[in-house]
Amino acid sequence: MTFEAPPHPMTDAGEMPHAPYAPYAAHPARSRGRRFAEAAPGSRSEFQRDRDRIVHSTAFRRLEYKTQVFINHEGDLFRTRLTHSIEVAQIARSCARNLRLNEDLVEAISLAHDLGHTPFGHAGQDALNGCMKEYGGFEHNLQSLRVVDALEQHYGAFDGLNLTFETREGILKHCSLTHARQLGDVGQRFIERKQPSLEAQLANLADEIAYNNHDIDDGLRSGLLGMAQMSEVDFFARHLRDVEHTYPGISGRRAIHETVRRMINALIVDLLDTSAARIAEAAPRDIEDVRNASPLIAFSRTMAAEAAVLKKFLHENLYRHFQVNRMTAKARNIVIQMFETFLGQPNLLPPDYQVHGIADDIQRQQKQARQVADYIAGMTDRYAIREHRRLFTMD
């Protein structure tokens, strides 16, 4: 079974309407707007403009050299944050078309959702969060919003990319109440316990579909996982049996690819069927009804359980593999040592990251710590390794 787009509604004249979105989709003409007013984009929609700004940002280019599971220099064929983001955008956009949601918005959210990730994946984030414990902590989701709101420096009229509320809302997938109260409009839904747009909900689950399945592919490619080992997971084993039945004698990369693509398709079909049914039952009239409803984009209970088993398996057998642990231990040490050194000797930082003009010691230290975190979080894997070497070796 494969997923196909449903027919779009037609006008009385039998012509396609200008914007074939469902009434509950996010409509760019009814956006809540940007933090700083700008003239209309003209030949593009507001969400297309957001997507274009994200693609042209410095943080987006850096994703090419930021790791998923494997450190960047470990191989050229493993996923990076950039290829992951593109895969998420592809899945999300295809699903959005089927559900008659706004494809441009879901693409913008998907491409931006990892902009705040540190070097060295979750190992880098965990290390930086530990370093920032006394200064408000560090969370890559909040950092992604910080990147597009403040850290990108391209425009004369404002800091950041000045994205629409709807794109910023989608980037902020989760948030504590403490942080939500500091974020203004985009944090309000966490306080009021409301939902984001369907496009934001969809991008979140497309992210899960993408990373679970490409981590299987990368794990098998690396040799850290084996086909027999993966076959302990019933979801994988069922689709592998189907591949072997359809293509007798198939093996190697072809067997892996055929199995993974069937898994992705099964997840997408289930997501579309379940979400369509939930939307039909809730019958939202507009995006505000979506915000006041329970989550409408979801897997079935059966598929959610299978995805949870797969995630647990990967956590225990890939993410905690001793070879991965060795590299992540090194990565944590790099991040911790750089943070402590830069915070203790801020004159070693580039001038833009040095804090001056604050008399209060506590406030100055607080701001300096956040600047150090911004600097480290913006590094690629290989730049972090080089910067660490510059600080601690005489080569």
Give tens-digit pLDDT for 313-334.
999 998 888 888 888 899 999 9
Residue 188, domain extent? 48-323
Q: Do 315 and 359 belong to one domain?
A: no
pLDDT at 42: 85
Total domains in the fold of the chain: 2
pLDDT at 169: 96
66 burial via Cβ count (<10 Å: 0-12, 13-18, 19+) = buried
Q: How confident is the model at residue 72 (pLDDT cuts 50, 70, 90)?
A: very low
252-278 residue pLDDT tens:
999 999 999 999 999 999 999 999 999
Distance CA(272)–CA(278), nearest Å, equals: 10
Does the structure show a pLDDT above 90 at 386? yes
pLDDT at 239: 96
Domain end position, chosen among 284, 304, 323: 323
pLDDT at 395: 67
Q: How confident is the model at residue 70 (pLDDT cuts 50, 70, 90)?
A: low
Partners of 34 in the β-ladder = 164
Q: State which H helix or E strand residue 14 sits in.
A: none
Do the domain assignments include residue 289? Answer: yes
In a 3-state reduction of DSSP, which class is residue 9? Answer: coil
Do the domain assignments include residue 34? Answer: no
pLDDT at 19: 54
pLDDT at 96: 98
Q: Do 377 and 259 belong to one domain?
A: no
237 or 2, which is more confident: 237
Q: How confident is the model at residue 209 (pLDDT cuts 50, 70, 90)?
A: very high
pLDDT at 4: 41
Q: What average pLDDT is seen over the chain?
A: 91
Q: Do 125 and 208 belong to one domain?
A: yes
> What sections of the chain are H helices per DSSP?
46-55, 58-62, 81-99, 103-112, 121-131, 140-146, 165-171, 177-180, 188-192, 198-222, 227-230, 234-246, 252-282, 287-292, 301-314, 322-344, 361-377, 381-392
Q: Do 369 and 223 belong to one domain?
A: no
134-168 residue pLDDT tens:
999 999 999 999 999 999 999 999 999 999 999 99
Domain end position, chosen among 323, 339, 364: 323
Q: Which of 2-11, 200-209, 382-391 has the lowest mean pLDDT?
A: 2-11
Q: Which of 63-72, 117-126, 215-224 has the lowest mean pLDDT?
A: 63-72
Closest CA to 113 of 88, 93, 96: 88
pLDDT over 70, % of the chain: 92
Does the structure show a pLDDT above 80 at 3? no
113-134 residue pLDDT tens:
999 999 998 889 999 999 999 9
Distance CA(105)–CA(49), nearest Å, equals: 10
Q: Do 112 and 128 belong to one domain?
A: yes
Does the structure show a pLDDT above 60 at 103? yes
Q: Do 357 and 243 belong to one domain?
A: no
Q: Do 206 and 156 belong to one domain?
A: yes
Q: Do 357 and 279 belong to one domain?
A: no
Q: How confident is the model at residue 8 (pLDDT cuts 50, 70, 90)?
A: very low
Distance CA(116)–CA(107), nearest Å, equals: 17
Do the domain assignments include residue 8? Answer: no
Domain end position, chosen among 323, 344, 378: 323
Cα R_g (the chain), whole angstroms: 22
**Residues 155-184, mean pLDDT to the nearest whole number:** 94
Do the Cβ atoms of 92 and 206 come closer than 8 Å?
A: yes
Buried b (16+ CB within 10 A) or exposed e, 237-260: ebbbeebeeeeeebeeeebbebbb
Residue 277 sits in a domain whose CATH number is 1.10.3210.10
pLDDT over 90, % of the chain: 79
Largest CA distance in the chain: 75
Do the Cβ atoms of 251 and 259 come closer than 8 Å?
A: no
